[in-house]
Chains A and B, each alone.
Chain A
Amino acid sequence: MRRLEYIGTTAAQGFWRNPVMSIASTFLATDRGLQAAVGVLESKVELALFLEDNARVSDVLALRARIEGDPAVSRVDYVTKDQAMARLVDIAARRPDIQIVDTSSNPLQDSLEIKLAHAQDASRVAASLREEIGKGVVSDVVDNPQVVDKLLTITRVLSIGGLAVLAMMLIVALFVIVNTIRIAVHARRDEIEIMKLVGATDWFVRWPFILEGMLVGALGALAATVVVLIAAGPVMGAMVNFIEILPLSFGTTFVWQLVASVFALALAVGGGGAMLSVRAHLAK
């Protein structure tokens, strides 16, 4: 009966613990994804002018000459859609955390990449270029610095705020595990007393509780991993729609790193919490 009560208590507290680990790993995954996206965008230009697929070369060259005439512009490069794809593939090859999901088609467009002498001119130049949209040459103008700034801000907030939340969550997880194991220790205090009396070593007494703490932590980590892996696809999809970058996914390396990190964290918190719980009973 006591065993059933104990299992029930453990299960109930597992519900508390799992969201804690889920939030921790979601934070890790989201932060990593955003940093990857920022990396990709940072490698792009300050302004990108996307060209209509059927734009005439002479019109493009004329436009390019006009843009180069603007004193705020330091350089203009013509990038074909194939070059853009090759560049992205190259970035993905150097970043194990990024994978290009689908290379069978190339949704990119030919573009003019415009480097500005002063970043603060970006919005003015972009506004004048947007007037060209719909005239047969320019299909879109992307003012990337704003997106990059936005992402950088989000990442910074996530990194600092997220670390604080993560630290709080770890303390909560530790607190919950310490109390769970303390209940288990209390339920078995007579057994522990007799074990000590007949000459069991401290580690012999300690190990079952440490393993129990680690098991409880691992269950939380398992639930967290499942939640993150299920949620990763839709979340990345939403990010792609929101930020308007190419479809990216977490690379296998990153997934394993995430799973290993979460499990290592959970086992350390579970085992460490259990050691704290048993310590008072082993002092004599």
Chain B
Amino acid sequence: MVAVLGRGNELITLDDVSKRYPNGTDALRDVDLEIDSGDFVFLVGSSGAGKSSLIRLLIREELPSSGRVWVDGQDVVRMRHSAVPKLRRRVGVVFQDFKLLPRKTVAENVGFALLVTGHSGEEVREETERALALVGLSQRREHFPDQLSGGEKQRTAIARALVSRPKILIADEPTGNLDPVTSWEIIKLLVRVNELGTTMLMATHNAEIVNALRRRVVHLDHGTVVRDEREGQYAA
């Protein structure tokens, strides 16, 4: 366990992080960022600004070219490969394209996250029911993804991300494929999840949502943090 820099309440810390891909693209440049436990943070910026690259660093799908990354007190850059699964169990992730398994029911998709991390059948059932109740999908538990609306698919994905009770929920454009009304339902759900104690980091293009919620906004532009405001606005 590596001590976290700073004040001691940070769940995520990026220290002078840069990421350059082999093709020469600079996705992130000298990024410093601290996210406290319990925060709700919007990560905004145009396509290619570096939002997804930053998220990939947090779940160690990528390593930075330079700089350090800490998540929940762990040095993500220097951690052993064998420690990565434990990191990912503490960080729930939701994507724009849901990433649901089409041959599994809603309950099976949600329980899958526990099943593959070695939990007992009883734990899987109990935690799956809890997560489904949280996202309001208990009645749809036996449905398959192609029988669900876009909003229900995203709620299933959120339930799967939450079922292992992560400290952090990262949502990468979670409303990107949804209509405005459904988008608001998802945002309300994420706000509720945050109020229950889960730290939220949400990458989005949706200025209306960002501006309405008035939460912390971190604005990335060409891989650099150009603005970081407590109750920010997003002028897309």
Q: Which residues of A contact B (CB under 8 A)?
A: 2, 190-191, 193-202, 204, 284
Contacts and interface: CB of A to CB of B under 8 A. Distances in A.
Contacts of A2: 103
B89 A198 contact: yes
Nearest to A195: B116
B179 interface: no
B112 interface: yes
B112 A198 contact: yes
A204 B116 contact: yes
Given A196-B88, A198-B164, A204 B118 contact: yes
A191, A194, A202: which has the most chain B beta carbons within 10 Å? A194
Interface residues of B, number: 20
Interface of B: 59, 61, 81-82, 85-89, 93, 99, 101, 103, 112-113, 116-118, 160, 164
A193 B117 CA distance: 14
Contacts of A284: 61
Given A190-B101, A194-B99, A201 B88 contact: no
Contacts of B112: 194-195, 198
B85 A200 contact: yes
Contacts of B101: 190-191, 194
Given A194-B112, A284-B61, A201 B85 contact: yes
9 contacts: A190-B101, A194-B113, A195-B112, A195-B116, A197-B93, A199-B87, A201-B85, A204-B116, A204-B117
A71 B82 CA distance: 80
B196 to A, nearest CB: 20
Given A190-B99, A190-B101, A191-B101, A197 B59 contact: yes
Given A190-B99, A199-B113, A201-B85, 12 more contacts: A2-B103, A194-B101, A194-B113, A196-B85, A197-B93, A198-B88, A199-B86, A199-B88, A202-B81, A202-B82, A202-B85, A284-B61
Nearest to B99: A194
B85 A199 contact: yes
Contacts of B86: 199
Contact of A198 (B61, B82, B113): B113
Contacts of A200: 85, 116-117
B7 to A, nearest CB: 28
Contacts of A194: 99, 101, 112-113
A199 B61 contact: no
Contacts of A193: 99
A260 to B, nearest CB: 33
Contacts of B116: 195, 198-200, 204
**Residue of A197, A199, A201 contacting most chain B CB atoms (<10 Å):** A199
A194 to B, nearest CB: 6
B108 to A, nearest CB: 11
Nearest to A193: B99
B89 A199 contact: yes
A204 B119 CA distance: 12
A198 B160 contact: yes
A56 B34 CA distance: 111
Contacts of B59: 197
Nearest to A196: B88
A144 B85 CA distance: 69
A197 B81 CA distance: 14
Contacts of A198: 88-89, 112-113, 116-117, 160, 164
- Top 8 nearest A-B pairs (CB, nearest first) are A199-B89, A198-B113, A199-B88, A200-B116, A199-B85, A201-B85, A195-B116, A199-B117
B157 to A, nearest CB: 10
Nearest to A2: B103
Contacts of A202: 81-82, 85
A166 B89 CA distance: 46
Contact of A197 (B82, B88, B103, B118): B88
A2 B88 CA distance: 30
A6 B81 CA distance: 32
Contacts of B82: 201-202
B92 to A, nearest CB: 8
A126 B87 CA distance: 84
A284 B85 CA distance: 11
B19 to A, nearest CB: 15
Contacts of A195: 112, 116
A9 B116 CA distance: 26
A237 to B, nearest CB: 54
A196 B99 CA distance: 12
Contacts of A197: 59, 88, 93, 99
B93 A199 contact: no
A269 B95 CA distance: 38
A195 B59 CA distance: 13
